[in-house]
Structure 1
């Protein structure tokens, strides 16, 4: 999914006040966690996922796997929090024109 800079900025502004919807536990990225993220994206379109990991490389790999598995757009990473967007069938968020 390709988003313009203007669209990314708009979505980041909307995500600012959101709390993480999904938080990875000690088991890391499991099929259940991916399914939960997928459900949250279908319902909310724009979510935050908390990935508590001390290893930067591991955290980056987990975040990339989340984006790949859910077919979402990675908007930003702040510390341990990943902000992703995937439009749903109902299109709850109206993006600015390109």
Structure 2
């Protein structure tokens, strides 16, 4: 579980990132979750964009991705979700 200070730190780091994944009409599936897990292992911090044509609520999507990828939800702002998961091999982000 992340503290408020750690979330603030990660939000600042994520500000300059571009969304790597997009959730659209198809919603969240197993393949997407697997790819997000792999990307989190490589990068630790990810932005995911929820498109306008998505049928599900962005908060529900954020929860599904968080549980599926076993990651921490940093923030949901607008249609963008920010996830963090500490990497086992490529640890680059040192939390305060």
Global fold match (TM > 0.5): yes
**For the residues of structure 2 that align with 1:76 and 1:51, how far apart are their CA atoms?**
13
**Aligned residue pairs: how many?**
95
1:7 maps to 6
Query: Which residues of 2 match residues 1-98 of structure 1 at below 5 A?
Result: 2-53=1-52, 58-90=57-89, 91-96=91-96
CA–CA separation in structure 2 for the residues paired with 1:56 and 1:12: 26
Distance 1:25 1:54, change over 3 A: closer
Partners of 1:27 and 1:4 lie apart in 2 by: 33
- Structure 1 residues not aligned, in runs of 5+: none
Deviation larger for 2-11 or 48-57:
48-57
The verdict on how the C-alpha distance between 1:55 and 1:43 changes in structure 2, with shifts beyond 3 A counting, is closer
Give the RMSD, CA atoms, in angstroms: 1.8
CA–CA distance in 1 between the matches of 2:52 and 2:66? 17
Runs of 4+ in 1 over 3 A off after TM superposition: 53-57
Q: Is contact 1:46–1:86 with CA below 8 Å preserved after alignment?
A: yes
